[in-house]
């Protein structure tokens, strides 16, 4: 692989340090955003490497029709926008930057939990519109409430630690969570069936895989406490959007905070109704959108490309 990385296309907005680091190691870089599928395929006839964020869909067709392509890098964690099976069939290496944006995603999750408890976005909007609704936007303390973290990987663990500082009891489910790690972090390791009836807040931090698709659904929501809050800063589809909307409408679920959606940007009428619901706080996939995270993932992906091309690092981008 060391001599095959001729040139690289960056097809989504990635921090400029990525391009700089590649150029500094004499790897030719082309930056072109918002390419249609046909434009992407045409452009990739000239490149061996491709760096994306989440907008570019690297489909089976792209792999099949771009014989020069040797390596695809995702400046981020999830590789949902890359057809991994097609990549494997074609022998294309897929790289990502797990961990580079974990703190940012964690901090957004904690922000959303606090915002749900105190109706912050709704109260801000109301005041901006000229109302003084102190009673309507009274909230709840987080201290003493129970937070369930489903998925205790990089982000879930950081969320657990921070919300403990608010005085929350943290309970967790993850098939890979050992009792030893749970004890170290100070969370209670429980089964999902134990979690549903006791959680005041449920936050999901799993990948979207067949086992987690619609993990939060009509059946599991019905098992939850009256007044439960749901948070999803992981992936759209882990929470069944229609089931969540129905349980918000019935009042069984007190609120939800969503950063990710089944379709992004959302066009489906159910998702749009969910976003518009007064008890929903919705953000446009901002989990990783901080200067620090974007610089980190851009640098990490560039360094992996440099390493693959057989060139040793000449300098490291500073700052984060």
Asked if 190 and 164 count as a contact pair (C-beta separation under 8 A), the reply is no
- Spatial CA neighbour of 21 closest among 51, 47, 43, 48: 51
The closest residue (CB) to ligand NAD is 153
Q: Is 272 left (phi over 0), alpha (psi -120 to 50) or beta?
A: alpha
Distance CA(222)–CA(197), nearest Å, equals: 9
Distance CA(66)–CA(69), nearest Å, equals: 6
Token pair for 234: 């992981």
- Identity of the residue, 214 or 289, whose beta carbon is nearer to ligand MLT in the bound complex: 289
Select the span of 88-96, 127-135, 167-175, 194-202 touching ligand NAD (CB under 6 A): 167-175
One of 53, 70, 74, 235 is an active-site residue; which one? 235
54 touches, from ligand NAD, ligand MLT, none (C-beta below 5 to 8 Å by class): ligand MLT
- 54 scored as a contact of ligand MLT (CB under 6 A): yes
Asked if 157 and 185 count as a contact pair (C-beta separation under 8 A), the reply is yes
- State the DSSP string of 114-161: HHHHHTHHHHHHHHHTT---TTTT-----TT-EEEEE--SHHHHHHHH
- 175 scored as a contact of ligand NAD (CB under 6 A): yes
- 240 scored as a contact of ligand NAD (CB under 6 A): no
Token pair for 89: 């069939």
Which one among 6, 13, 28, 78 touches ligand MLT, defined by CB under 6 A? 78
SS3 content of the chain, % helix, strand, coil (to 5): 40, 15, 45
233 touches, from ligand NAD, ligand MLT, none (C-beta below 5 to 8 Å by class): ligand NAD
191 touches, from ligand NAD, ligand MLT, none (C-beta below 5 to 8 Å by class): none
- 288 scored as a contact of ligand NAD (CB under 6 A): yes
- 205 scored as a contact of ligand NAD (CB under 6 A): yes
- 53 scored as a contact of ligand MLT (CB under 6 A): yes
- Identity of the residue, 145 or 235, whose beta carbon is nearer to ligand NAD in the bound complex: 235
- 101 scored as a contact of ligand NAD (CB under 6 A): yes
- 149 scored as a contact of ligand NAD (CB under 6 A): no
53 touches, from ligand MLT, ligand NAD, none (C-beta below 5 to 8 Å by class): ligand MLT
Select the span of 131-139, 173-181, 193-201, 285-293 touching ligand MLT (CB under 6 A): 285-293
- The answer to whether residue 43 is catalytic is no
Token pair for 44: 């990739």
Helix (H) or strand (E) holding 197: none
Asked if 238 and 261 count as a contact pair (C-beta separation under 8 A), the reply is no
Asked if 135 and 79 count as a contact pair (C-beta separation under 8 A), the reply is no
Give the nearest distance from C-beta 109 to ligand NAD in angstroms: 8
- State the DSSP string of 149-174: EE--SHHHHHHHHHHHTTT-EEEEE-
Give the nearest distance from C-beta 11 to ligand MLT in angstroms: 14
Distance CA(33)–CA(113), nearest Å, equals: 34
- The answer to whether residue 300 is catalytic is no
CA quadruple 7, 48, 31, 76: dihedral sign = negative
- The answer to whether residue 285 is catalytic is yes
What backbone phi and psi angles, to 5 degrees, belong to 107?
Answer: -65, -35
One of 43, 188, 242, 264 is an active-site residue; which one? 264
- Identity of the residue, 70 or 201, whose beta carbon is nearer to ligand NAD in the bound complex: 201
Judged by the rule CB under 6 A, the positions of this chain that interact with ligand NAD are: 77-78, 98, 101-102, 105, 150-156, 173-176, 205-208, 211-212, 233-235, 259-260, 285, 287-288
Catalytic residues: 235, 264, 285
């Amino acid at each position: 692989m060391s001599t095959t990385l001729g040139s690289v296309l960056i097809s989504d907005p990635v921090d400029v340090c990525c391009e700089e680091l590649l150029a500094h190691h004499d790897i030719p870089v082309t930056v072109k955003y918002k390419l249609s599928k046909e434009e992407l395929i045409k452009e990739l006839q000239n490149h061996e490497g491709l760096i994306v964020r989440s907008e570019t869909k690297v489909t089976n067709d792209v792999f099949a029709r771009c014989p020069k392509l040797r390596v695809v890098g995702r400046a981020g964690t999830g590789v949902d926008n890359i057809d991994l099976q097609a990549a494997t069939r074609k022998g294309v290496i897929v790289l990502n930057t797990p961990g580079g944006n974990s703190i940012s995603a964690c901090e957004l999750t904690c922000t959303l939990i606090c915002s749900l408890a105190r109706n912050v976005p709704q109260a801000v909007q109301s005041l901006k519109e000229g109302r003084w609704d102190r009673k309507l936007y009274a909230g709840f303390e987080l201290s003493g409430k129970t937070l369930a973290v489903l998925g205790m990987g990089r982000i879930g663990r950081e969320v657990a630690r921070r919300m403990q500082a608010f005085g929350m009891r943290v309970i967790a489910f993850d098939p890979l969570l050992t009792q030893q790690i749970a004890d170290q972090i100070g969370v209670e390791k429980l089964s999902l069936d134990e979690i549903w009836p006791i959680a005041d807040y449920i936050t999901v931090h799993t990948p979207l895989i067949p086992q987690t698709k619609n993990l939060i659904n009509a059946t599991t929501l019905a098992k939850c406490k009256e007044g439960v809050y749901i948070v999803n800063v992981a992936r759209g589809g882990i929470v069944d959007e229609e089931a969540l909307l129905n349980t918000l409408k019935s009042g069984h679920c007190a609120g939800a905070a969503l950063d990710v959606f089944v379709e992004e940007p959302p066009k489906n009428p159910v998702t749009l109704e969910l976003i518009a619901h007064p008890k929903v706080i919705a953000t446009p996939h901002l989990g990783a959108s901080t200067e620090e995270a974007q610089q980190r993932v851009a640098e990490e992906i560039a360094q992996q490309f440099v390493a693959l091309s057989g060139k040793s690092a000449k300098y490291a981008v500073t700052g984060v």
